[in-house]
A and B are shown apart, each in its own frame.
Chain A
Amino acid sequence: MAAYVARRLLAAIPVLFGLSLIVFAMMALVPGDPATAILGSYATPENVERLNRDLGLDRSLPRQYLIWLGNVFQGDLGRSYALNRPVLDEVTERFSATLILAGTSLVLASILGLVAGVISAVRQYGWTDRMVTLAVLVGISTPSFFLGLLLILFFAVRLALFPASGMYAIYGGGDLPDLLHHLVLPAVTLAVVATGVIARLTRTAMLEVLRQDYIRTARAKGLTERRVVLRHAFMSALVAVIPVIGIQAGFVLGGAVYVETVFQWPGIGSMLVNAISQRDLLLVQGGVLVVAAAYVLFNLAADVVQTLLDPRLR
């Protein structure tokens, strides 16, 4: 098992390098001269040249990449010029807020999706199945940025049950209950699509598993239907669905961009949107790199969990 994890970790290294290369290349491809962008169009040629030298932009691209990568390894992602603070500090702060939101959503979506999918499969063609299937269809067709607005209108404005924005109350908040109170609406909004996808695939996986020979064996043994479904069918379906949950992590991390904007959640998604508008490219670069790397690691974890559950993969 340890050997397997080590092997998967090693296999992730080239992927991480690839990611860094893409992120670096994209920023190198930005049209226009960064020095001019920073100094403004009235800068003297001498100043532009000096800044280019200071930024290391007069060197060849491969050299620039190596230097940049070296800095990344030392935790130096550059400095955000719009915020005038180290990119790493800003990114870590924002990313932890995103992790709280996205993590809650993913857990919520996994539990609800698995339960709904299993019930739907067991009651195939019954009214529960139809309700679940319809709900899934509506859920995955609803733009999260619209759903968020609707939830704000209903639960925050009309019923005044939950706050409409932010992560903590401005006055007197800051503790865990306060955080949870703020978390409900954005986490639900973000979980809807992932719940739908997980429910759909769980249903299909369950239906496929329920036709397997070993399910017939379980029934021939005289096990209760409950045990057949939960212990025998669900175990296999879960193994099939775990990679889907891994992929959904990516959609949840990405979808956080909308939800954070709607609910003004101080996460990395809303940071990126602002940074793009302000052309704060180093901040965009650092943010994208960190989120992408986290996603790779999360998928790695999903692989490992799948392997733990399925002895044939070891």
Chain B
Amino acid sequence: MAVAAAPAETVEGAAPRRTGTLRLIARNRLALAGMCVLAVLVLIALAAPILPLPDPDATEPANRLLLPMSVGHLLGTDALGRDILSRLVWGMRVSLAVGISATLVAALLGSAIGLAAGYAGGWTDSILMRGIDMVMAFPYILLALAIVAVLGPGLVNALYAIAVVNIPFFARNIRGVTLGLARREFVDAARLSGKSNLRIVTGEILPNVMPVIVVTMSTTVGWMILETAGLSFLGLGAQPPQADLGSMLGEGRKILFNAPHVSIAPGLLIFVLVMSINLVGDGVRDALDPRLRSGALSRPSARTAIRRTGAPAPRERDAALDVVGLRTEFDIGGRVHRAVGGVDLALRGGECLGLVGESGSGKSVTAMSVMGLVPTPPGRIAAGAARMDGEDLFALPDERIRQLRGAAVAYVFQDPLSSLHPLHRVGDQIVEAVRAHRPLSRRQARDRAAALLALVRIPNPRARLDAYPHELSGGMRQRVCIAMALANEPAILIADEPTTALDVTVQARILSLMRGLQDEGGTAVLFITHDFGVVSAICDQVAVMYAGRIVETGATDAVIAAPAHPYTRGLIDCVPVLGEPGRRITPIEGHPPPIDRLPEGCAFADRCPRVQDDCRSGEIALDAIGAGRAVRCLHPLVSGGADG
């Protein structure tokens, strides 16, 4: 049953961009085909007594081993002159009946064990599950053979044997679900209301477990039909004169060389039957697999797809990185989520630019878009340009982007534990980053890696090269990530919330490390954070993002001293300041708007304390207010020279 239990997808993949129900239906065309074939076969099996077929057991020695397409015998006859077509139909009846009965028996016993173990827990659970483990310690078919050996050959005994070896699959699946349900409130409520355990299990838990039982049945029934046929093939199942598809194949095998059609016919029928059932089973499981629904099983390509028409003109030629009109979208289930909706950013050499906003504001997506690291599917860059040294990054070939990644532009990500490969030593991961761009020998690259670890102030760097990520503390891991990013002395370092996942004290150390490195190296840093406290510690310039757009930019000191956008003010007010216990921390009420349904006008209007009627219509521009500052607000807290 490992076969059926394996999560998989059907062949008929629709376009990978369409997730959701539509795609699942499209994907399940094969399941539908399987269902149709299966329905026809089951109908034929059910209708066998009324079909105009000759007696399957009537022998006709004169007409032995007739070939298919013979008169009166569409598929020919077997060694005793019996009609093969008729025998197939009747044999299929037996095979289906035995396979389905075995499934029901296994489902009944397995579910009972699973429910009991999951509901009772404790010792009952341990003993039952150790028993199940014991059964699973046997190779599957071998155990069925042993059971047949004990009970003696015969169709009913084969049925029991196959049922017993399949019990563990039901018991395990159902126990898992029951275990979760047994601790839920509605079960407690039922218990408090004085219901007996049996009534709780059958009345409250069983209905919730039913889908799991059905899925397990649909994924195991094909296998059970196959295995009962197999036992019959070996002569341990159906005994003459009774015949199922397996025993027909077994008998045909004896005359394989003279009359191959006698064995090919039942073999093909078993194959078609099992294949159609497996198609349906896969379809059922895929439709219920949350990973497929969420698109978590689609492969992101090496670089974000670029679907823009033309590139906007360059804005600031002196910037190390100049982002103009960037629009990045996610196409999820046919809905377009505009994560970044026209962002302009200029990062000058040696400068640290803070990109600030709540989660979901599009700041990370902006940063990932620069080097094409937004996963496709579902992401795509829909408009805009990012320029470095006059090169339009979105127009470059993939290989050129690969050469720039980690060399000219390096990244540090939020969670250092998930960002480092868990199975490779940190030294090897740094060496790899070095050697991707420099023709160094392993030994030279290793020296460089040790020097980098020393640079990020990791004590005893040589020894640390051999550590695995899980052996390091969070702060150490992030230092490793920073070292890796600095491996090729990048012109631009993009740090995506590099301190968010760390303890506060560690945060401070990493920040001072980055500040120091930046002062020494002259690297331009794009620093993404949600925390104005961090911004004030490290950034020269700041850009505030909300719902995919920049709402305010300016020099950090000026913005913090006098924020112009009410949202910026809100973010600053969220920062606790040490030594000012009386200061009120005011969270911003409400949530950002869903990015697949952005409102007209200002996206912040619904949460804004200063909102007026004109905020909710028209496009609001990012207007300059004084030297190097701009704000996207009709009623800013600080106004520039123009409106007085």
Binding site for B on A (CB under 8 A): 15, 18-19, 22-23, 26-27, 29-31, 121-122, 124-125, 129-130, 133-134, 136-138, 140-143, 145-146, 149-150, 152-153, 157, 193, 196-197, 200-201, 203-204, 206-208, 210-225, 227-228, 231-232, 235-236, 239, 244, 247-251, 253-255, 257-258, 261-262, 272-273, 275-277, 279, 281, 284, 288, 291-292, 295-296, 309-312
Fill in one digit per residue for B251-274: 1 if any A CB lies within 8 Å of its CB, else 0: 001001100100110011011001
**CB closest residue in chain A, given B269:** A146
CB B390 to nearest CB in A, in angstroms, measures 20
B149 contacts A284, C-beta separation under 8 Å: yes
Known: A196-B3, A222-B406. A203 touches B8 (CB 8 A): yes
Known: A141-B278, A292-B137. A219 touches B236 (CB 8 A): no
- Name the segment of B70-78, B111-119, B329-337, B416-424 touching the other chain: B416-424
Known: A22-B134, A200-B8. A125 touches B141 (CB 8 A): no
Q: Contacts of A253 on B, CB cut-off 8 Å?
A: 139, 142
Known: A217-B420, A312-B470. A145 touches B230 (CB 8 A): yes
- Name the segment of B432-440, B515-523, B533-541, B594-602 touching the other chain: B432-440
C-alpha spacing A275/B235, complex, angstroms = 12
- B275 interface hit (Cβ, 8 Å): yes
- B321 interface hit (Cβ, 8 Å): no
Q: Contacts of A134 on B, CB cut-off 8 Å?
A: 11
**CB closest residue in chain A, given B371:** A220
**CB closest residue in chain A, given B256:** A149
Q: Contacts of A207 on B, CB cut-off 8 Å?
A: 297-299
- Name the segment of B407-415, B449-457, B504-512 touching the other chain: B407-415
A133 contacts B257, C-beta separation under 8 Å: no
Binding site for A on B (CB under 8 A): 2-3, 6-13, 15-16, 130, 133-135, 137-143, 145-153, 222, 226, 229-230, 233-236, 246, 249, 253, 256-257, 260, 263-264, 267-268, 270-271, 274-275, 278-279, 282, 291, 296-300, 302, 371, 373, 375, 402-407, 410-411, 413, 415, 418-424, 432-433, 436-437, 468, 470-471, 481, 484, 487
C-alpha spacing A133/B27, complex, angstroms = 13
B142 contacts A220, C-beta separation under 8 Å: no
28 examples of A-B residue contacts, CB within 8 angstroms: A15-B134, A19-B137, A19-B138, A30-B150, A125-B13, A133-B10, A138-B275, A140-B3, A141-B278, A143-B226, A143-B249, A143-B271, A149-B256, A150-B264, A152-B256, A211-B375, A217-B420, A217-B481, A223-B432, A235-B423, A236-B421, A248-B2, A249-B139, A273-B235, A276-B148, A281-B149, A295-B139, A309-B423
CB A169 to nearest CB in B, in angstroms, measures 19
B421 contacts A214, C-beta separation under 8 Å: yes
B278 contacts A29, C-beta separation under 8 Å: no
Q: Contacts of B298 on A, CB cut-off 8 Å?
A: 124, 207
**CB closest residue in chain B, given A288:** B146
C-alpha spacing A232/B139, complex, angstroms = 33
**CB closest residue in chain B, given A130:** B11
CB A249 to nearest CB in B, in angstroms, measures 8
Given A142-B271, A221-B433, A222-B402, 14 new contacts (CB under 8 A): A18-B134, A29-B150, A125-B15, A149-B267, A207-B297, A214-B421, A221-B484, A223-B436, A244-B2, A253-B139, A258-B233, A272-B149, A288-B138, A309-B423
CB B378 to nearest CB in A, in angstroms, measures 12
C-alpha spacing A221/B436, complex, angstroms = 8
Known: A29-B150, A221-B406, A311-B468. A15 touches B137 (CB 8 A): yes
Interface majority SS on A: helix, strand, loop or mixed?
A: helix
C-alpha spacing A217/B481, complex, angstroms = 9
B422 contacts A312, C-beta separation under 8 Å: yes
Q: Contacts of B147 on A, CB cut-off 8 Å?
A: 26
Q: Contacts of A217 on B, CB cut-off 8 Å?
A: 411, 413, 419-421, 481, 484
**CB closest residue in chain B, given A141:** B275
B274 contacts A247, C-beta separation under 8 Å: no
Contact of B11 among A133, A295, A312 (CB under 8 A): A133
B407 contacts A254, C-beta separation under 8 Å: no
C-alpha spacing A124/B137, complex, angstroms = 35
CB B166 to nearest CB in A, in angstroms, measures 13
Contact of B267 among A146, A214, A215 (CB under 8 A): A146
B11 contacts A218, C-beta separation under 8 Å: no
B133 contacts A310, C-beta separation under 8 Å: no
Contact of B405 among A153, A206, A221, A250 (CB under 8 A): A221
B423 contacts A150, C-beta separation under 8 Å: no
A26 contacts B267, C-beta separation under 8 Å: no
Q: Contacts of A208 on B, CB cut-off 8 Å?
A: 291, 296-297
CB A222 to nearest CB in B, in angstroms, measures 3
A254 contacts B423, C-beta separation under 8 Å: no
Known: A141-B278, A223-B436, A288-B145. A214 touches B420 (CB 8 A): yes
CB-CB nearest 9 A-B residue pairs: A254-B141, A222-B406, A146-B267, A222-B405, A141-B275, A250-B139, A213-B418, A221-B406, A254-B139
Q: Contacts of B246 on A, CB cut-off 8 Å?
A: 145
C-alpha spacing A208/B148, complex, angstroms = 41
A27 contacts B233, C-beta separation under 8 Å: no
C-alpha spacing A272/B282, complex, angstroms = 33
CB B300 to nearest CB in A, in angstroms, measures 6
**CB closest residue in chain A, given B140:** A254
- Which of A129, A239, A276 has the most C-beta atoms of chain B within 10 angstroms of its own C-beta? A276
Contact of A239 among B423, B436, B468 (CB under 8 A): B423
CB A74 to nearest CB in B, in angstroms, measures 23
B302 contacts A276, C-beta separation under 8 Å: no
C-alpha spacing A223/B282, complex, angstroms = 36
Contact of A225 among B150, B302, B404, B419 (CB under 8 A): B302
